[in-house]
Structure 1
Amino acid sequence: MADHSAARQTKVRASELVGRGWLNTGGKELSLESLRGKIVILDFWTFCCMNCLHVLDELRPLEEEFEDVLVTVGVHSPKFEHEADPLALEAAVDRYDITHPVLDDPNLETWNAYTARAWPTLVVLDPEGYIVAHLSGEGHVQGLTSLVRELVEEHETKGTLHRGDGPYVPRPKPQGTFAFPGKALELPTDFADGRTTYLVTDTARHRLVQVEADFETVLATFGGPEKGYLDGSAEQARFNEPQGIALVPTDLRETLGVDVLVADSVNHRLRGLNLRTGQVTTLAGSGVQRLIDGETARTDPNHIEPGADPLTVALSSPWDLVYSREAAAFLVAMAGTHQIFSFDPVTGQLAVFAGTGAEGLKDGAVADSWFAQSSGLIEAKDGSIWVADSETSALRRIVFEAEEARVETAVGIGLFDFGFVDGNRQEARLQHCLGLTELPDGSIAIADTYNGAIRRLDPATGALGTLARGLAEPSDVLVETTEDGGARLIVVEANAHQLVRVSIPDAMQHVDEGASQVTRKATELAGGSLTFTARFAAPKGQKLDTRWGDPTQLKISSTPENFILSGAGTAQGLTRQLELNPEITSAVLHITARAAACDGEPGGEIPDHAACHLYQQDWGLPVVITESGEQELVLDLRGVN
C-alpha cells in the first residue's frame, strides 16, 4: 500500500488577512499581529456551501474547549455573486449563529494568498504565525483537537502562548415572530377548527410555529428556542435548524401516529410531529453526519442494508421532503450528499433513490444522475417530482417511466453557472434556488433565492419568466386560493423574517441581467499525462485502518466526460495517473478523496472497538490547459507541516 502521509515541510509564515471588513469584532479590524500568541484556525467558507455549514458545527465544541487559546477566523470567500453582498453575509452570520470573527473576502484575496482550492478549507496557524496544517473537507475535528493540544503544550513551554479572551463580539439577534424561516406548509382546516393555518419552520430559533392566516398570530410552537435534540412534548422537544416539512398522507397518519414529517437538518434526522398532541418523535437518522460516519468508511456509501433500523442509518443535512405517490415513499433532499433518499414510512426502509453522490449536473437514470445540494422538492399533479437543485442553480425533474425513473433538467447549465436571465432553456439562468410550487395552470413557481425573485417556468414551452423581485432571500413559495377563486403566492422571505403574500401578475417580467460564472481562479494544467495526489497524514493518536487493505479512495470524473481519456473512476489509493484530452482547453475535475483512520498508535495494532473516523472532501476544480500548465496536481485532504 502506498504511503499517503504528508512529509514535514519547511515552516511557512502566514499571509496577512486582507478583505473588505470584519464581522463579529465590534467594529475592530484584526491582523495577524493582533492574533499573535493564539492558535488560529482560518475557516475558508461560503454561506451557500453545505459542507461549510457542517464544519461550522464540527468546530463549535473545539472552540468551547480551547476558548482561551484558540481563535477561529471565518474567511468568507464567496462562490455566488449574491454572497459578495455585505448585507447578505451579515444575515448569514446571524442565521448560522457564528460565534467567531469573520473576514469578508469578496475578491478572494485571502483565499488566493492561502491557495485555497475548495470550500471548506481549514488552515491552522501556530501562536508565532506559521502555517502548521492545511485541511480540506469535513471530519477533521478529532485531528484538530490533537493538533491544538500539541501546539498548546509546545508553545506554553516556549512562552509564546497567550491565554485570555479572544476578539469575538456578538451581534444583536433578530426580533419578531420568525428568525430566518425556512419552509412553510398550509395545514388542513381540521387542525384548527375549520380555519386555514400554516406551519412554518422557524429555523434560526430551532422550532416549528403554527400561525393564523395573518402570519403573525401564533397558535402553537413545537421545540425551541434553543437548539438541541430531544423527543417529547411541544415544550420538551428540541430541533436544530429544521427546514423542510411535509404532510403525511391521510391514510398513514393513524398508523404512524404523526401528521407531519420534519427535515431536522443539523441533527441529520427525520422527525415526526403529531399536531393534536404536540408530540415529536424521531423516525430516521442516527444523528451522525453521513459524510464522516466512521461506521460506513469501508462500505459503499450509496448502499443501505435492506431492513436496517432507520434510527441507525446516518443521514446528511436533510433539507426538504415530499410524499411521492409513484414511489410510495417520502423523497428526501439529502443536501449534504447531493442525493435524493427515499423513506418508506410504514417499513422504515431508507434507500438512495437518486444521485451517485457526485456533485454536479448530470441527467439520465436516477442511479447515474448527479445533483448538487438539492434543497426543494414538490410533487406535481402528474406525479413527477420537481427539484430545486441549489448549487447548480438548476430546476430538475424526476419522471417516472415504465422501466425506471429518470432525471431531466429544465433550467440550469452546471456547477459554476448562474445568473438572472429569462428566456428559453439554453438562455435562462437562476441563482441558488431553494423552493418551488406548482401553480394551478401546471407551471412551476421557483423561489430564486439569491436573485431575490420568484420565477415561473412553463414546462410546455420551457420558457422562464419573472413573477416578482425585490425579495429578501425567498426560501420557499406556496400558492393559495383567493376568495374569488383565483391564485396568489405566499413567499417565505427568510432574510426579512416573514411570510408575505404576492399577487401573480397577468404578464411576467422579462429580465436579462446577464449570465455569470464562478470567478474562482482556474488551475492551469498541461494537456496529456497528469499525476494527481491527495495529501493525507493521520492525526496524532490515529493511524490508517489497514486491517482490510488500503483504507483510502479516489473517485475522479470530469465535465465534459471526455476531458479524462484514462484514469477516471473509483479506486483505492490517493494517487492517480490521468490522461487529459489536450483538445479540450477548459473543464471541471470532480474529485472525491476518502481516508479512514482509527484510534491507535503508530507501530501498534488498532485496538478492538477503536473509534474510527472518515475524512472526505469533494473538489469541483475548474481547470484550463495551457502550455505552461503543471503536470502534477496535489491537493490537501489533511496536509500537516
Structure 2
Amino acid sequence: MTARVRAPELRGRGWLNTGGRSLTLADLRGKVVILDFWTFCCINCLHVLDELRPLEEKYGDALVVIGVHSPKFEHERDPAALAAAVERYGVHHPVLDDADMHMWQQYAAKAWPTLSVIDPEGYVVASMAGEGHAEGLMRLLDELIATHGAKGTLHRGDGPYVPPAAPDTLLRFPGKAVELPNGNLLVSDSARHSLVELTADGESLVRRFGTGERGRADGPAEVASFSEPQGLSLLPAGTADYDVVVADTVNHLLRGLRLETGEVVTVAGTGRPWRTAADDGVALSSPWDVAWFEGQVIVAMAGIHQLWWFDPATGGSGVYAGTTVEALRDGKLPDVWMAQPSGLSAAGDRLWVADSETSALRWVEAGELHTAVGQGLFDFGHVDGPAAEALLQHPLGVCALPDGSVLIADTYNGAVRRFDPASGEVSTVDSGLAEPSDILLTRAGEVVVVESGAHRLVRLAPGAVRTVAGERHRTERPPSSLAPGEVTLDVIFDPAPGQKLDTSFGPSTRLVVSASPPELLLEGDGTSTDLSRRLVLNPAVPKGILQVVAQAATCDADVEHAACHLTRQDWGVPVLVEPGAAARLPLILRGLDS
C-alpha cells in the first residue's frame, strides 16, 4: 500500500486573485484542491487553463484550483507581468507567485504544466503532467467528493477567489493587426474575445465584430463570438466568399470575416484541440497567426509546434512543416522542430517565423526551414550584434520590410528588434514597450506596433536603430542528480478511475528517449512501448538534458460505447551525472510514485 503523502505548505512571493489575502492549506481544508503548476509563456499550460474552466464551474463549491506560477523566462518573474497574464488569459482562481521555484521543488514538478491533486484532508492523491487530463480529473473529483462527503470531511461553500476590478480601455491585450483595403486597421482584441476595426490612426473605434464574451458562434457581428483570437490575414480579392482569415486561438478554429456585412463564419477546425496524427487536416491546436504565402494560408499552429497550410477555396488543411517535437532543428520542412511558432510574415520566396519558445527568428524558403537568430529552448536575453550571438526573449511577431530586413516583436524584452540578412546583424530599434506582440507595415510606409501589454497601437519613430549589449539568460531548472552507468527511467502512469489501458489499435504506451548532448547516453535512446527503460549515462559527460516523450492510450472501462483518451507529455530533464547519486529517474505522467 502506498503511504499517504501530506501536501507541502503553500509558500511564494505573493498571491493574486485573493483580495490581498495569503492562503494556507489549512484555509482550504475540506475542499479538493488542484495545484496547477504553469508558466504564462507555455501553450500547453494555456490549454490546461481551458480544460480546468468547466471543472471549476461544475465542482465550484467543492473544488479550489490554485495556479502556481513557476516561471521559465526572466520576464515572467516580473510580478506586474504575471498580474497582466492572469487577466489576459482569464484566470479566475487564486494564483501563487512561485518566483523562486520553491513550490516547484516541493511538489517535485519536472514539466510545465503539472497538476497535483490534494484531498480534503490535505494529502496528495494524484499528480499528472501535460494536458488532456480533464476526463480523468472529472472521474477523480467524483470519487473524492463521494468519499469525503460520506466521511464528513468535505466542506462545500464559496472558494477564496476574489475577482480584480474590471478595466476600462478601448482594447484589452490586443494580439495582431492588419491593414484593410480602406486604410483602417483590423485588430484582434484578444482579451475581449472580439475583433475591432479602428480608424487609420488606431485611435477611434469604427465597429466591433463579436459579442465580447467567450464563444464560437457564427453569424452577424453582434451575434458572433470568439475566444482569444490572434492572427489575421487579408486574402487576395476573389479567393473566397470572405475577406479575412482569423486565428481563433482558444477555440482551435479558423474563422472567416466578411468585411461588407460583418458576418463571421467557421472555415476550419472542429472546436476541439488536435491530439494525434489522426486529427491532421481536421482538428487544429491553438492557431496563433496566419499569413498568405505560396498561394495558400500558412497557419502558425502554436499548440503542436508546427506550421499548417489552409486552402480557402476548398477548406482543406494539413501539415506544412514540423513533427510536433518541441525543440529547434532546421532542415526539410517535414523533419524540422519548432517550439510554439507565433508570428508570420511573408516576403517574396521567404516566410519569416517568430518561434517563441526557442526565442528564435526563423525562415522558410525552398522547402526548408532555417534559423537566423536563436539557440534553443532555454537560451534567451537581449543581446545585439552578429546573429549567431544575438539573443531574443519569446518573440511573438515579425514583419518583413521592403529592404529585405525584418522587424521582430521581441515580446518579453519589450522591444522591437531588426535583423538584416545582408549584414547578418541584429539591432534594437525601440525598447521600453509593454509586451509588443505584432508589427505592421502600412501601405503608407508607417510601422505600427501592437503594444499588447499597454492595450494600444503605437507608431515607430523612424531611424531609431541602436545596439544593445544586454544580458544573456538561461533557464536553470533544478537538475536531477543521477549516477553514472546504469539508471532506470520509470514513467508512472495509472489510468484514471473508470478507465483502462487501450490496446485496440496496438500497444497502449510509447516512450521516446534522447539526450543533449547525445554523448550523455551510452545506451537507452530510441523508441519502445515500455514505460520503463534501462539507460546508461556516460561518466565522462558531467551534465545534460534527457529528452523524454511518453504517451498512454486509455478508454472507458465496462461501457458499451467507450470513449478513448490519449495522454502525452514531453520532458526536458536537466541532469547532473554524479557518483553516488540516484540510479532511478521517476517521471509522473499520471499517478503517484510509490
Shorter-chain TM-score category? over 0.9
Query: Do residues 235 (structure 1) and 235 (structure 2) align?
Result: no
1:75 to 68, 72, 90: 68
Number of the residue aligned with 1:410: 372
Deviations 1:541-577 (A, max 9, x none): 1111123332111222333344334433333232223
Query: Do residues 169 (structure 1) and 162 (structure 2) align?
Result: yes
Number of the residue aligned with 1:150: 143
Number of the residue aligned with 1:316: 285
* 526-535 or 262-271, which deviates more: 526-535
Instruction: Please report how far the alpha carbon of residue 165 of structure 1 lies from its aligned counterpart in structure 2 after TM superposition.
Output: 0.6
1:387 to 353, 375, 386: 353
Query: Do residues 268 (structure 1) and 252 (structure 2) align?
Result: yes
Kept in 1: contact 2:352–2:400 (CA 8 A): no
**Partner letter of residue 573 of structure 1?**
D
SS of equivalent residue, structure 1 residue 151 = helix
Number of the residue aligned with 2:242: 258
SS of equivalent residue, structure 1 residue 250 = coil
**Partner letter of residue 158 of structure 1?**
K
1:527 to 459, 470, 484: 484
Instruction: Please report how far the alpha carbon of residue 582 of structure 1 lies from its aligned counterpart in structure 2 after TM superposition.
Output: 3.6
If asked which structure has higher relative contact order (CA below 8 Å, sep 6+), I would say 1
SS of equivalent residue, structure 2 residue 103 = helix
Number of the residue aligned with 1:396: 362
1:631 to 571, 580, 583: 583
Query: Do residues 222 (structure 1) and 189 (structure 2) align?
Result: no
SS of equivalent residue, structure 2 residue 441 = strand
Instruction: Please report how far the alpha carbon of residue 530 of structure 1 lies from its aligned counterpart in structure 2 after TM superposition.
Output: 3.0
Count of residue pairs the alignment pairs up: 593
How far, CA to CA, are the matches of 1:392 and 1:471 in structure 2? 21
User: TM-score with structure 1 length normalisation?
Assistant: 0.90
SS of equivalent residue, structure 1 residue 174 = coil
**Partner letter of residue 84 of structure 1?**
R
Deviations 1:46-77 (A, max 9, x none): 00000000000101111111111111000000
Q: 1:568/1:250 Cα in 2 relative to 1: closer, same or farther (>3 Å)?
A: farther
Number of the residue aligned with 2:567: 615
How far, CA to CA, are the matches of 1:89 and 1:396 in structure 2? 28
2:200 to 199, 209, 213: 213
How far, CA to CA, are the matches of 2:443 and 2:251 in structure 1? 35
Query: Do residues 578 (structure 1) and 535 (structure 2) align?
Result: yes
Number of the residue aligned with 1:357: 324
Deviations 1:315-359 (A, max 9, x none): 11000011112xx32111110101111112223222211111111
Query: Do residues 287 (structure 1) and 271 (structure 2) align?
Result: yes
Instruction: Please report how far the alpha carbon of residue 460 of structure 1 lies from its aligned counterpart in structure 2 after TM superposition.
Output: 1.5
Query: Do residues 432 (structure 1) and 384 (structure 2) align?
Result: no
SS of equivalent residue, structure 1 residue 61 = helix
How far, CA to CA, are the matches of 1:81 and 1:44 in structure 2? 17
Q: 1:363/1:561 Cα in 2 relative to 1: closer, same or farther (>3 Å)?
A: farther
Query: Do residues 201 (structure 1) and 159 (structure 2) align?
Result: no
Deviations 1:225-269 (A, max 9, x none): 1010111111111111100010112241xxx20101011111101
How far, CA to CA, are the matches of 2:228 and 2:506 in structure 1? 39
Q: 1:258/1:565 Cα in 2 relative to 1: closer, same or farther (>3 Å)?
A: farther
Kept in 1: contact 2:358–2:394 (CA 8 A): yes
Q: Once the two structures are aligned, what percentage of the paired residues are identical?
A: 54
How far, CA to CA, are the matches of 2:293 and 2:104 in structure 1? 42
Kept in 2: contact 1:555–1:592 (CA 8 A): yes
Instruction: Please report how far the alpha carbon of residue 623 of structure 1 lies from its aligned counterpart in structure 2 after TM superposition.
Output: 2.1
Query: Do residues 567 (structure 1) and 524 (structure 2) align?
Result: yes
How far, CA to CA, are the matches of 2:107 and 2:271 in structure 1? 33
Kept in 2: contact 1:550–1:573 (CA 8 A): no
Number of the residue aligned with 2:15: 22
Number of the residue aligned with 2:418: 456
SS of equivalent residue, structure 1 residue 421 = coil
SS of equivalent residue, structure 1 residue 73 = strand
Kept in 2: contact 1:557–1:590 (CA 8 A): yes
Kept in 1: contact 2:537–2:577 (CA 8 A): no
How far, CA to CA, are the matches of 1:12 and 1:534 in structure 2? 19
Q: 1:570/1:270 Cα in 2 relative to 1: closer, same or farther (>3 Å)?
A: farther
Query: Do residues 488 (structure 1) and 446 (structure 2) align?
Result: yes
Query: Do residues 444 (structure 1) and 402 (structure 2) align?
Result: no
How far, CA to CA, are the matches of 1:142 and 1:553 in structure 2? 21
How far, CA to CA, are the matches of 1:479 and 1:548 in structure 2? 50
How far, CA to CA, are the matches of 1:489 and 1:110 in structure 2? 43
Kept in 1: contact 2:378–2:474 (CA 8 A): yes
Kept in 1: contact 2:418–2:428 (CA 8 A): yes
SS of equivalent residue, structure 2 residue 352 = strand
**Partner letter of residue 540 of structure 1?**
P
Number of the residue aligned with 1:131: 124
Number of the residue aligned with 1:467: 429
SS of equivalent residue, structure 1 residue 88 = helix
Number of the residue aligned with 1:329: 296
SS of equivalent residue, structure 1 residue 272 = strand
SS of equivalent residue, structure 1 residue 445 = strand
* 43-52 or 623-632, which deviates more: 623-632
Query: Do residues 55 (structure 1) and 48 (structure 2) align?
Result: yes
**Partner letter of residue 342 of structure 2?**
S
Deviations 1:569-609 (A, max 9, x none): 333232223334443333222222111111114xxxx63x3
Number of the residue aligned with 1:120: 113
Unpaired runs of 5+ residues, structure 2, are: none
Instruction: Please report how far the alpha carbon of residue 640 of structure 1 lies from its aligned counterpart in structure 2 after TM superposition.
Output: 4.1
Q: 1:251/1:570 Cα in 2 relative to 1: closer, same or farther (>3 Å)?
A: farther
User: TM-score with structure 2 length normalisation?
Assistant: 0.97
Query: Do residues 246 (structure 1) and 215 (structure 2) align?
Result: no
Kept in 1: contact 2:293–2:346 (CA 8 A): yes
Number of the residue aligned with 1:43: 36
Kept in 2: contact 1:94–1:173 (CA 8 A): no
Instruction: Please report how far the alpha carbon of residue 166 of structure 1 lies from its aligned counterpart in structure 2 after TM superposition.
Output: 0.7
SS of equivalent residue, structure 2 residue 66 = strand
**Partner letter of residue 361 of structure 1?**
L
How far, CA to CA, are the matches of 1:563 and 1:459 in structure 2? 35
Query: Do residues 503 (structure 1) and 461 (structure 2) align?
Result: yes
Unpaired runs of 5+ residues, structure 1, are: 1-7, 190-195, 305-309
